[in-house]
Homo-oligomer: A and B are copies of this chain.
């Protein structure tokens, strides 16, 4: 299984998360692209740090909402979504190229992630950007979601992910962050869920039912206090359970055409 987490989410004078520590744990790094976080210099340093560790770089694209950290739903026209994704994807690709690596996949962030997961039209608008930019680029989205199916339907590589520290509803959706208990913080519980997800492909939902998950990647959070410690704990549990950790996307090194 692949382990992914968000990095590059500092902005100018503001620091968020402990990217160095997170990059030591994950196999894939969702790097912000400037619309919800990530000034250019932060991105250059983050991508350089990822490349130095052989961590695969993905573009984490967002709605243009810096003050809301991309977490507030916005009603964009599909062609605005496509253009915004292209812009961010290219921007991070430029940064990555300068760091001797390349963007190897795309993952929406925050409210764009939620909407793309549940709304096929939004997923299609995101996929359209990827298709026009590079149809070989995988898209990472919530395992089992309508949006992931919509991405796959366009012919792109659609990779499902699951969340060891998020509560699931019985129908396989994430419980909204606005609900109590949406985010799990007990390290043992999170680690145990990660192992069951990676080895059994399933998770226990909030109502006690068992939900099947078809996920090739497991998302860890990097922006909560103690996130890096929790990530290390999950990785150790997975390795102890004999799970082989590897990126889902080929480790891309930029090659001149």
- C-alpha spacing A144/B83, complex, angstroms: 38
Query: Which positions 1-27 of chain A face chain B at CB distance < 8 Å?
Result: 10-16
Query: Which positions 46-81 of chain A face chain B at CB distance < 8 Å?
Result: 64-69, 71-76, 79-80
Q: Is the CB of A83 within 8 A of B14?
A: no
Known: A13-B16, A75-B72. A86 touches B98 (CB 8 A): yes
| Interface residue A244 (Cβ < 8 Å from any Cβ of B) | no
Residues of B within 8 A of A86 (CB): 40, 44, 94-95, 98
Nearest B residue to A97 via CB reads B133
- C-alpha spacing A73/B69, complex, angstroms: 16
Which interface class (under 10, 10 to 19, 20 to 34, 35 or more) fits A? 35 or more
| Interface residue A92 (Cβ < 8 Å from any Cβ of B) | yes
- C-alpha spacing A200/B67, complex, angstroms: 45
- C-alpha spacing A82/B65, complex, angstroms: 18
Known: A14-B14, A64-B67. A40 touches B93 (CB 8 A): no
Contacts A41-B80, A90-B91 aside, 13 further interface pairs with beta carbons under 8 A come to A12-B69, A39-B83, A64-B68, A66-B66, A73-B74, A86-B95, A88-B91, A90-B92, A90-B93, A90-B97, A91-B91, A98-B129, A257-B257
Residues of A with Cβ closer than 8 Å to B?
Answer: 10-16, 34, 37, 39-41, 43-44, 64-69, 71-76, 79-80, 82-84, 86-95, 97-98, 111, 129, 132-134, 223, 255-257
